[in-house]
Amino acid sequence: MTTILVIEDDDIVRKLIRKILTQQQYAVLEAAGGHQGVQLALAHQPDLIVCDVMMPGIDGYGVLQKLQAEAATAMIPFVFLTARAEKQDIRQGMRLGADDYLTKPFTKEELLSAIAIRLSKLSSLQQHYSSPDASSKAVPQTTPPALRNDCGDRFSLQETFEAIALTLQQDDAAFLPLFVVGFERFAQICADLEPQEIDTLNQAIINRLNQGLQGRGRVICLAAGEFCLVLNRAYVQADTGAIAQEILAAFEQFLTTATEEFFLSVSLGIAEYPQDADNLRDLVAQAQTAQRQAQNLGEPRYQFANAMTPQSYPKGLDLADDLRDAYHQHQLTVHYQPQCQLPGKEMVGAEALLRWEHPLRGSILTEEILAIANPIGLLELLDQFVLTQACRQLRRWANQDHQTFQMAVNLSATQFNQPHFHQDLSHLLIENGLNPANLVLELTESTLLDNAPLTIRRLKAIKTLGVKIVLDDFGLGYSSLTYLKKFPFDFLKLDPSLIRNIHQKSAQRTVVRSLINTAHQQKRLVIAEGVENETELECLQQLNCDRAQGFLLGYPMSAPELEQLLLSKTIFPHDSVIFDAPDP
């Protein structure tokens, strides 16, 4: 009988899940907290774990990290269960190795579907590695299936590290670097692949890592989608940074399987022995922490442990009361960043962006506002505020003879998953007398993680209203071309990381050209976000990109400022923009 461990501190929720699972003939183990959950997992090694995130003591992230560190439990499918469903929360779980992410409230069907998919994938992997034709590549039961002969495992990491550390000469400037390499949402990409394709993808990753290392170290597999690189001698930090850049450069092109092409966002954390830690366990932990920060900070996508910056979350807590007051006192505003047609730079739309002018901090941007709003329960209200304001502004511009002007609004996972969202959206369209085709909703890939069939139904329901849909931030983290075929999008919006210095990077141009061609074959338009100079713009025009957005074409501005540009029929680029750039 299949055994499922449920770790949930809410007695009512835990008993409800137990009832649902026992009705389906699953054996259920229960834990009311993280400590108990870890003990049960190690003792019984269940077939799957469902775990709440927000728990006293060890939270869900801590549980996952502890189980990932143990060979006996590292490969058990792990499904997070939480009321939080924002991009940063989902990313954190997926980075740690979670296989899925269910948000409360959930239906019985959603829970059973998520479990069935993960168990089916596990069964396929087990059959694959136990079959006679897989004997040539079979691996020990405690080793992740990604492993190959040219990639060591956790058990060889200690031996490799100690052998190299013993050869080090005392040097105050040079240290032994240890890299931790992570890929955003690696578990999610594997959920859509057959076992043979997972093999191919993992081997491609290992090959790229070895390509970047150029014989200067060894690749070690820590967990699915997480690798450790141990260099074979000490380096000064400048040389270590140069090696990091070479490793990153090795991932600038697509990774391919027999049926798919993937662009993976890789980030590196670097800890140096003995400067950052005098033992391997702490050194790996330091590098893992640095890798997570590198992923959050963006460019240059690698971070030294001894250069880590403090997190900004405590500052956000200080602003929580201020944000509540600002919302209730109507001090929040919506700004609009132009989107221009290519070629020609005609302004055809704008993206609505939340802004807050704090009396002491000055202008606070959307991402920071939402990070503060999420834990204090303001997120849903702010989502609705931006959508409502954007629709009202779109109506005003339509009444001023701009009937084809499109307004893009970011849709959060919380907003998208509301059962009444379709009805609310329909009312907004009718109330403002809008042409639905002029409203464009932008969704990131993380919004689509929970339940693909349900997500597709919701997207199609929105499309019946006539509203356009954008797949936003494509290229940030794991990005599969499968999304372009599976989901009913009208636009593909390329992440700024793909656009930055595209004119100088041939591999990056190849990726963008492929994305544009694929989107056009599927009758979808492509928007490039983050265009900051003329050479980037010219390159995008040569690649037949349809639209562009970025500081070159216009900063986010107030409605009256953008309205003045509309009335004057101003043609960009930046030298004709009539407002001041924000302070850096």
Q: Does the pLDDT at position 126 exceed 70?
A: no
More confidently predicted of 366 and 312: 366
Alpha helices by DSSP H, listed for 1-33, are: 11-23
Using CA atoms, how far apart are residues 62 and 217, in angstroms rounded to an integer? 30
- The third-level CATH classification (topology) of the domain covering 313-570 is TIM Barrel (3.20.20)
How high is the pLDDT of residue 129?
A: 43
Q: Enumerate the CATH 3.40.50.2300 domain ranges in the chain, comma separated.
A: 3-132
pLDDT in tens, 168-227: 766 666 789 999 998 876 766 776 677 777 778 888 899 999 999 998 999 988 766 788
- Number of C-alpha atoms within 13 angstroms, CB side, residue 511? 30
- Calculate ∠ Cα 304-307-310, nearest 5°: 120
Give all strands (DSSP E) within 391-476, no chain letters. Answer: 406-410, 439-444, 468-474
* Class at the top of the CATH hierarchy for domain 142-307: alpha beta
CATH number of 3-132: 3.40.50.2300
pLDDT higher than 60, residue 305: yes
Give the Å distances, CA to CA, from 401 to 67, 81, 566. 60, 48, 10
- Does residue 424 surpass a pLDDT of 70? yes
| pTM, 2 dp | 0.53
Distance CA 238, CA 250 (A): 19
- Return d(Cα 447, Cα 395) in angstroms, integer: 28
CATH 3.20.20.450 residue ranges in the chain?
A: 313-570
Nearest to 268 by CA among 354, 137, 387, 177: 177
Q: What is the pLDDT of residues 274-286, one digit of tens each?
A: 888 888 877 888 8
Q: Supply the mean pLDDT for the chain.
A: 81
The segment(s) of the chain belonging to CATH 3.30.70.270 are 142-307
